[in-house]
Amino acid sequence: MTRTVDSNVAISVAELFTIGIGPSSSHTVGPMRAARAFMDEVAKVAKPVVAIRAELFGSLALTGHGHATDIAVLLGLSGETPEEVDPAALQGIVAAIRASEEIGTVCGPVPFIEARDLLFRKGEFLEGHSNAIRFTARLADGSEIAREYHSIGGGAIVAFGELPQPLGHNIVQIHPFSSGAELLAVGEETGLSIGEIVARNEGAWRPRAETETLLDRIAQAMMTSIERGMGEEGILPGGLRVKRRARAIHARLRGQPREQQYARVFEWVSLFALAVNEENAAGGRVVTAPTNGAAGVIPAVIRYYRDFVPGADAPGVRNFLLTASAIGFLYKKRASISAAEMGCQGEVGVACSMAAAGLAAVLGGTNAQIENAAEIGMEHNLGLTCNPIGGLVQIPCIERNTMGAVKAINAAYLALQGDGRHVVSLDAVIETMRQTGEDMQSRYKETSLGGLAVNVVEC
């Protein structure tokens, strides 16, 4: 039974929303963190390192080149992190490693010939997770240190044989919940909104003011990725020759009369999502929300709230993120947000569900209506496969985010038309997503072995 984390483990907003680089949280951000974690572990041994080998398995091997996993591993071994690496400098760092055939690690310079030392074990799947990576360091005395890591979605990693331990594995929250039913029950007992429940739980990690600063920083990074995406043009890397469209669309929409701009609101929402995911596909800085492949959905819906909902303000954006986080926690606890396990329903589907809940909250929805919005958001993404052409986070991934954002807005307004009572609960739809993901053939789960990936000829 798939579980991203132990259902009793507390998860923080800081873990669900992280600022990193594209194009993939599980294939780029996770492997970079794993490589950095491995070298930090090796550095504890007071012996010179003479060789390093990295082996990629499962989905990481099958679509790793398209997701820049090779680049991520080189950067991580070099000591870089997704949060701090400069997207503009990373190509230079990688080029220097390849030219010198040497990596400057925390243990000193180590010879590294990519064709020999970075191996894509295509067709081999390791036990435990379909996103697996194995590192081996050989020491001067001939001994070896080996570690296996799993990239479990959203950029999170876990060493094989260990239980995933998020930021809150020793945290006791004031209002714990591990299901939608428990979340609603906490609201009933305390009279608190879902967003406020999460805000008070975040107090287990940091003071309220620091949480608000964190949320503002996350929101600003999202808005920055939209603006940057709308300002860039050219061809996305990877060989598919996909042209960036956001800048041209933005120019056309901006040139229309104000009243027509509002009449074309969904075009604006689609633009916002498109801009973020083009930026992600180009390896730019985005917010994992809750993954990079689905990074455009939540920012687009927040921008819709900010630009098109009267009375929108910064506290509202914080409430949006807190409420969306509550829903994201449930998917991580009760299923998975990894496309390699769940297909794209675990990425764009989850982001749509989270965004629907966040929007319903800031539009004045009750807890029951918010839960209903989240359920609708996922119900109509069930069975969504992940079959990226060429292993790139471009087709259908970029446009799929626009659809997820529009669906989220529709789901929120549908839920607000009712009183919160509905037939299918959020818990039921999450369990259905989990079962569907487990039943889904691996060729449709981020392997590029089925669907569009084999039925469209690459140009």
Same domain, 232 and 333: yes
* pLDDT above 90: residue 262: no
Dihedral pair phi/psi, residue 109, rounded to 5°: -65, 135
Q: Would the pTM of this model clear 0.85, i.e. be above it?
A: yes
What count of other Cβ atoms lies within 10 Å of the Cβ of residue 108?
A: 10
Q: Does 171 fall in a domain?
A: no
Query: pLDDT at position 172, please?
Result: 87
Same domain, 188 and 140: no
CA distance 154 to 446: 14
Please give the full DSSP string across 308-371, using - where no structure is assigned: HSTT--HHHHHHHHHHHHHHHHHHHHHS---HHHHGGGGTHHHHHHHHHHHHHHHTT--HHHHH
Same domain, 363 and 429: yes
Region of poorest pLDDT, from 82-96, 99-113, 148-162, 227-241: 148-162
Q: Does 68 fall in a domain?
A: yes
Same domain, 385 and 293: yes
Q: Does 453 fall in a domain?
A: no
Same domain, 265 and 352: yes
Of the pLDDT bands very low, low, confident and very high (cuts 50, 70, 90), residue 168 is very low
Query: pLDDT at position 5, please?
Result: 58
Q: What is the mean predicted confidence (pLDDT) over 12-17?
A: 96
How large is the angle between the packed helices 194-202 and 348-362, nearest 10 degrees? 110
**Residue (of 379, 401, 288) closest to 30 by Cα position:** 288
Last residue of a domain, one of 159, 189, 220: 159
Same domain, 127 and 219: no
Q: Does 209 fall in a domain?
A: yes
* pLDDT above 50: residue 199: yes
**Average pLDDT score, the chain:** 93
Asked if 273 and 408 touch (Cβ cutoff 8 Å), the reply is no
Split into its structural domains, the chain has a count of 2
Query: pLDDT at position 164, please?
Result: 45
**Residues in a beta bridge with 18:** 288
What pLDDT, in 10s, does the model give residues 70-108?
999 999 999 999 999 999 898 999 999 999 999 999 889
Asked if 338 and 153 touch (Cβ cutoff 8 Å), the reply is yes
What pLDDT, in 10s, does the model give residues 266-286?
999 999 999 999 999 999 999
**Residue (of 100, 125, 118) closest to 51 by Cα position:** 118
DSSP state of 57: E
Contacts of 457 (CB under 8 A, 6+ apart): none
DSSP 3-state of 129:
coil
Asked if 167 and 155 touch (Cβ cutoff 8 Å), the reply is no
CATH of the domain at 79: 3.30.1330.90
Of the pLDDT bands very low, low, confident and very high (cuts 50, 70, 90), residue 170 is low
DSSP state of 292: S
Last residue of a domain, one of 159, 191, 211: 159
Same domain, 128 and 216: no
Q: Does 457 fall in a domain?
A: no
Query: pLDDT at position 414, please?
Result: 98
Query: pLDDT at position 458, please?
Result: 55
Asked if 194 and 361 touch (Cβ cutoff 8 Å), the reply is yes
Same domain, 152 and 29: yes
What pLDDT, in 10s, does the model give residues 410-436?
999 999 999 999 999 999 999 999 999
Of the pLDDT bands very low, low, confident and very high (cuts 50, 70, 90), residue 394 is very high
* pLDDT above 50: residue 152: yes
Q: What is the mean predicted confidence (pLDDT) over 298-321?
A: 97
Q: Does 383 fall in a domain?
A: yes
Of the pLDDT bands very low, low, confident and very high (cuts 50, 70, 90), residue 409 is very high
Q: Does 3 fall in a domain?
A: no
Same domain, 148 and 217: no
* pLDDT above 60: residue 162: no
CATH of the domain at 229: 1.10.4100
Query: pLDDT at position 379, please?
Result: 97
Same domain, 141 and 242: no
Region of poorest pLDDT, from 46-50, 228-232, 247-251, 384-388: 46-50
Same domain, 405 and 314: yes
Same domain, 135 and 190: no
Beta-strand pair 144-153/131-139 = antiparallel
* pLDDT above 80: residue 457: no
Domain that holds residue 307: 180-444
Q: Does 328 fall in a domain?
A: yes
CA distance 88 to 35: 20
Query: pLDDT at position 46, please?
Result: 66
What's the alpha-carbon Rg for the chain, to the nearest Å? 21
What pLDDT, in 10s, does the model give residues 323-357?
999 999 999 999 999 999 999 999 999 999 999 99
Beta-strand pair 118-121/49-58 = parallel
Asked if 420 and 180 touch (Cβ cutoff 8 Å), the reply is no
Of the pLDDT bands very low, low, confident and very high (cuts 50, 70, 90), residue 153 is confident
CA distance 298 to 324: 9
